[in-house]
Amino acid sequence: MSAAIESFDNPAILSSLVINAPIYIDCRTSVCPEKPIGKDVLSALLKERNNNDGSTGGGGETDETSSQQQQNGADDSFEEGGGEKGLVFLRGTVVKNDQQGECMDVNAFVSDGETTLLKGVSYKRIFAGNPANLIESLSDVARLTNLNPPSIVHFLEDRFMRNTKKSKNSSLREIYSKAGPILIALNPCEPLPSKYDREVMNFYSPRNAASGVKATASSTTTGAEGDVTSSSSVKDLPPHCFQVASNAFEQMMENQLDQAIVISGESGSGKTETTKFIMKFLAATTSHDSSSNGEEKHNIDMFNAVSRDLLMTNPILEAFGNAKTARNLNSSRFGKLIDIKFDKKSNGKLAQAMIETYLLEKSRVVHHSKRERSFHVFYQLLAGASKEEKKKWFLDDAKEGFNYLGGFGVQSKKSVEIDDENKHKETKEALKAIGIADKTIDDIYQTLASVLHLGNIEFDTLNESGHDAAVVKTKDALKYTSELLGVDSAALERSLIKRVISAGGEKIETDLTLTQANDARDALAKAMFEALFEYLVSKINESFARDGAVQRDDEDLVSLNILDIYGFESFQHNTFEQLCINYANESMQKMFNHHLFVVEQKDYETENIEWSRIEFVDNSSTLEVIENKPMGLFALLDDQASFPGATDETYHAKIVSELSNMEKFSCMRKKGTSETSFDIVHYAGSVTYECAGFLEKNRDALPLDLATALYTDNTFEFMKTNIGEALHNRAMETMVTKASKSAKMKSTVCTKFRNQLSGLLQKLNSCEPHFIRCVKPNASLVPTETDQKLILHQCACAGILEATRIAQAGYPTRSLYEDFAHRFGFLVGKDVIESSGVDSKTVTKMILEHFSVDAEEHVKFGTTKIFFKQGVLGALEDARSNAIYYSKIIQASYKGFKQRKEYQRIRSATIIAQASWKGTKQRKEFITLRDRNRAALKIQMAAKKKAFNARVQLRVAERERRELEMRLEEEKREKEEKERLRKEAEAEAAAAARKREEEEAKAKAETDAAAAALKRNNSPESTLDRENSSAASLSEDVDALNNPFVKALKAENEALRASVEAEREEKMALERQIEELREQITAADDALVAAMMQNEQNQQSSPSASTPTGKQEPSRLEKPSAHANKVPSGQASRVIQFVDGMKGEFNSMTRVLDDDVEFIREVAAGGNSGGGGTGGQ
């Protein structure tokens, strides 16, 4: 890739760059090691740029992608440690150009509006850029003034990201661009249904070319130089895959020549989706005709049936031929050519179709990398099969999964990214749609299940007689496989671990080693799947033939071929498959280059431009390394395959000895490669191949024993007739190949592929080709990111850089005389052009003379176009941009001055008109407001009066309520206190009574005891003792009655009765005082109301007069004073405080009313005195 970039360097163009000219800066260190850009400066610059843009390109980068970039762009890092991923070029402008030192100071764009100055940047790092207005006006990269890789990458990036930043509507993104006759399609990495709906199909439909559908579009189509042109041709419409299909259809019907659309690109670039869109477009726009009726109805139905079958092929081929890879969820693992035939006599109705396939990657059946999957159909079977089907095909019996799918429960693990269950339904519906019976569909899926179980057959070694013989270890897998295949289990086991060799007319049975047994099992699985895939392709073609329109002769049909071919591949480890794929791409590139050269030559010849000076270099030397006979890679590989003792090492030694002198071949071993590696320099870069497995993959041998086991004694009819027979015939061909060294009898993979490719190229060379190059914007397939390295690499692999080289060799920039004169004529003066009265060609020459352009060296004049060398038109574009820029400044200054004067005039008139109108309006509003305020004042006075009375009543009631509550609360407390005292007294009295009773009881007991004693002792001494005891008891009773405590208690009770009586008298007196105060307050309120009414009557009787001096304010009215009644209690004090508060509130209200009255008087006085003055104004 670096060589491809460096070949575009042109010091002559760089030395002519002026200040502020757009440029691109190459960030790689290897470009100019003697003048490196500062590591810290450039690292920080790129890091900030990537952070601002969000273009990391490394989040989803796969091992294969990184390996590919290491292989093809190892020198793309800007410093030794690697550098920022994804960014190769920076945009900038020239600050100072030092032609002698071949360096310049530049401003590098870090992000929008931010630049960084880099000094002394070498010419080797600089590429000339293009004006921004030119880039925005073009959709064809070939029309750029300066054609170089940075310009191409920036052009594609700008179109891809342009509308993404302006709008969240992703359907506005420009994913399609042109590079001359090539359509470049960047994968949007997200669905864009609005770009492919029915309306867009009608917009590009060739059926509407003569109608008004394109009238609007053609009137607004942007020309090559950004001008508006008028054309109804599909060629002039915006680039789109529908445009390519419509253009091919138009040329096919107009010229009656076969057409071919070649779609290529690497995995994940969108080739499969583009193919489907084109097929839908052709089926939708060429098979329906609403004007047909009568006898044509039957033919239209048949045309529509072919269209339906054509669309139904997509789910089938994707299920059986596509797989998830590290780069793509739906990668085509085969090449296909769809030959669609149209009927000339029915105005180009779709009549027939046929599909051819190339180089199916059947090795994916038995092996795939860890992050990838096998073909979709296996996962669809496991996810979508019913319980009965899984039981019938033993799918649930494989507890540890299937080895061919990765094992360890893969069948139960659902994919988050792919809906295998719904895809299974779509595939079954598509199989039914092309006419396959339900029983046959079951047989197909049974065959797939047998392949999965076949992969679970594992082998072990049995050491006997000094050699290792393989034996079957997993008997259950063998049993399931044999039942599904319809063969005897013992026969299948014998064919897997033993081989029958014919020697001297005798057959000898030998044991296979463990490795040989595994190879034999995998060979059978690959052969079975390949045969099934070919069977389905044949059934698809049968459906086309069955549902085709009325049969026509070949001369009544023209065909449009759609080729979906795998893109150029280069990984860290490249094997036989990559060599075949790159050989096909190399051959297609040769045809591509030849076609572009022919198109260029035709354009030059049409314009009568000399063509002999332009040199064209093709890639024939690379093709000779691969396909040359008898010493090319393929020829030597076939020869080695004929020798039983040949190995990959002997093959490597052979090609080294025979091809070392060829320019595009190298056998120098690189670091990290094996001893059997070699390099081939392709058009897209050098690729290193490993010879390991070349011979075995080329032979693709299938043991006859295995083929015979499936073909003979087979109870599974579908397997026997469709798979077994094909495998048996192939095994027999292999046996013939080994016995014969004739080239015609060889049946190796490379021979078959070379023959297929030769037929394909022969077919394409007979057609008019149209090219679509699909490009993946970033490795992680993020919709809003771009990776410059990846895009640049794909442009090289797709031949876009080669196409620009071919155009660059001559005069790449060209324009019609009318467009050129219209775009640049104003630069030489309008009077000069109008006065000359000459045609556009003469005006063009005058423009070139005005700018001193050397017409002999840099320009060629054609019949209708002018041709420029690279970079010549850029100077004119700069002059045009500068003229427009300064014209805008002058126009802006004049228009600003003119608009300011006009603004001042309008503003002055507006102020006068507004002042007059506002005065009248304000006077009217004042009168209305005055009358409204008077009425409002009356209403407010009445309302305030009512509100005041209500407030007074409310407060009095509230005050009474509070006083009553307080009184009740005091009475309650007094009552509780009295009750407490009463209870205490009663308790004390009860205690005294109890004590007295106890003493009386004691005395009685003593008396009784004395009496008893008297009875016992009637002596005089006893009588005297009793008398003494009685006297003592009586003395104690007398002492108890005279106790001071009892006396005090009685005195306290008497005092309490007196206090209660006094309090009752005091309350009665307080109530009498409150009643008197209430009467006084009522009288004061009446006096206040009377004063207010008198004041209002006085104001109504004399509204314009001032307030009388003798008028007494309401606040000064005499009110009865609560202090006159000298009430000594606390309740009376609170009443007096309330009355004083009401007095203050009434005074405030009176002052407010007085202010309102004064304001009304002032307004009335001002209105009467100023009426004449206002009217005078």
Tens of pLDDT along 82-139? 334 456 788 888 888 887 777 888 888 876 667 788 888 888 888 888 888 778 888 8
pLDDT on residue 363: 87
3-state secondary structure of 177: strand
Four-CA torsion 1080, 1086, 1091, 1094, nearest 10 degrees: -160
pLDDT on residue 1162: 62
pLDDT on residue 56: 38
- Kindly report, residue by residue over 996-1029, the tens digit of the pLDDT: 888 888 888 888 887 887 777 665 555 555 566 6
- One-letter identity of residue 331: S
- Kindly report, residue by residue over 913-925, the tens digit of the pLDDT: 999 999 999 999 9
3-state secondary structure of 305: helix
- One-letter identity of residue 627: E
pLDDT on residue 478: 92
Provide Rg for the chain, Cα atoms. Answer: 55
Query: Of 317, 315, 301, 281, whose CA–CA distance to 351 is shortest?
Result: 301
Is 1154 or 817 the better-scoring residue by pLDDT? Answer: 817
Yes or no: say if 252 and 560 are a contact pair by the CB < 8 Å rule.
yes
Question: What mean pLDDT is predicted for residues 443-462?
Answer: 91
CA–CA gap between residue 687 and residue 625 (Å, rounded)? 13
pLDDT on residue 750: 87
- One-letter identity of residue 848: L
* End-to-end Cα separation, the chain, in angstroms: 88
Question: What mean pLDDT is predicted for residues 148-169?
Answer: 78
Is 494 or 1066 the better-scoring residue by pLDDT? Answer: 494
Question: What mean pLDDT is predicted for residues 164-178?
Answer: 71
pLDDT on residue 445: 94
pLDDT band for 751, please (50, 70, 90 cuts): confident
pLDDT on residue 911: 93
Share of the chain above pLDDT 90, in %: 16
Please determine, for residue 261, whether its predicted confidence score (pLDDT) is greater than 90: yes
Yes or no: say if 598 and 384 are a contact pair by the CB < 8 Å rule.
no
pLDDT on residue 165: 58
Cβ-based burial of 514 (10 A; exposed 0-12, middle 13-18, buried ≥19)? middle
3-state secondary structure of 772: strand
CA–CA gap between residue 570 and residue 581 (Å, rounded)? 10
| Residues 6 or more apart whose Cβ sits within 8 Å of residue 653 | none
Quote the tokens at residue 782. Answer: 């993020």
pLDDT band for 896, please (50, 70, 90 cuts): very high
- Kindly report, residue by residue over 523-551, the tens digit of the pLDDT: 899 999 999 999 999 999 888 877 654 45
Please determine, for residue 450, whether its predicted confidence score (pLDDT) is greater than 90: yes
**What is the residue-wise DSSP string for 408-447?**
SSGGG---SSS-HHHHHHHHHHHHHHTT--HHHHHHHHHH
pLDDT on residue 536: 94
DSSP classification of residue 720: I
Phi and psi based region of residue 837 (left: phi greater than 0; alpha: psi -120 to 50; beta: remaining) = left
Enumerate long-range contacts of 851-854, CB under 8 Å, 24 or more apart. Answer: 851/827, 851/875, 851/876, 851/879
Q: Which residues on adjacent β-strands are paired with residue 104?
A: 97, 121
Yes or no: say if 245 and 278 are a contact pair by the CB < 8 Å rule.
yes
* Number of Cβ atoms within 10 Å of the Cβ of 890: 9
Q: How many residues are there in the chain?
A: 1177
Question: What mean pLDDT is predicted for residues 499-526?
Answer: 82
H/E stretch holding 184 reads strand 182-186
pLDDT band for 374, please (50, 70, 90 cuts): very high
Yes or no: say if 375 and 365 are a contact pair by the CB < 8 Å rule.
yes
3-state secondary structure of 346: coil
CA–CA gap between residue 142 and residue 148 (Å, rounded)? 10
Please determine, for residue 1117, whether its predicted confidence score (pLDDT) is greater than 60: no
- How, if at all, do strands 331-332 and 335-343 pair? unpaired
User: Residue 322 — φ and ψ, nearest 5°?
Assistant: -110, 155
- Kindly report, residue by residue over 270-322, the tens digit of the pLDDT: 888 898 899 888 888 776 554 444 444 444 455 466 777 777 888 999 999 99
pLDDT on residue 1172: 44
Query: Of 457, 516, 527, 460, whose CA–CA distance to 492 is shortest?
Result: 457
pLDDT on residue 1033: 60
Yes or no: say if 808 and 859 are a contact pair by the CB < 8 Å rule.
no
Yes or no: say if 1063 and 974 are a contact pair by the CB < 8 Å rule.
yes
pLDDT on residue 48: 54
- Kindly report, residue by residue over 677-722, the tens digit of the pLDDT: 999 998 878 899 999 888 888 888 788 878 787 877 788 888 888 8
pLDDT on residue 1068: 80
CA–CA gap between residue 154 and residue 316 (Å, rounded)? 39
Please determine, for residue 230, whether its predicted confidence score (pLDDT) is greater than 50: no
Yes or no: say if 587 and 623 are a contact pair by the CB < 8 Å rule.
yes
pLDDT band for 12, please (50, 70, 90 cuts): low
Angle, helix 872-1016 to helix 1130-1176, in steps of 10 degrees: 160
Place of tokens 């030998």: 510
Is 835 or 891 the better-scoring residue by pLDDT? Answer: 891
Yes or no: say if 172 and 818 are a contact pair by the CB < 8 Å rule.
no
pLDDT band for 1142, please (50, 70, 90 cuts): low
pLDDT on residue 561: 92
Place of tokens 């559908």: 213
Least confident of 94-103, 274-283, 603-612, 1141-1150: 1141-1150
pLDDT on residue 380: 93
Question: What mean pLDDT is predicted for residues 865-888?
Answer: 80
CA–CA gap between residue 157 and residue 377 (Å, rounded)? 36
For the chain, give the mean pLDDT: 76
CA–CA gap between residue 289 and residue 306 (Å, rounded)? 15
- Kindly report, residue by residue over 558-586, the tens digit of the pLDDT: 889 999 887 788 878 888 888 998 899 88
Yes or no: say if 652 and 678 are a contact pair by the CB < 8 Å rule.
yes
Is 259 or 214 the better-scoring residue by pLDDT? Answer: 259
Query: Of 351, 848, 730, 264, whose CA–CA distance to 554 is shortest?
Result: 351
pLDDT on residue 455: 92
Q: What is the pTM of this model?
A: 0.66
Please determine, for residue 763, whether its predicted confidence score (pLDDT) is greater than 50: yes
- Kindly report, residue by residue over 27-74, the tens digit of the pLDDT: 766 566 556 565 555 555 555 555 554 443 333 333 333 344 444 443
**Beta-strand runs (E) in 667-778:** 677-682, 685-690, 768-775
Question: What mean pLDDT is predicted for residues 784-795?
Answer: 85
pLDDT band for 377, please (50, 70, 90 cuts): very high
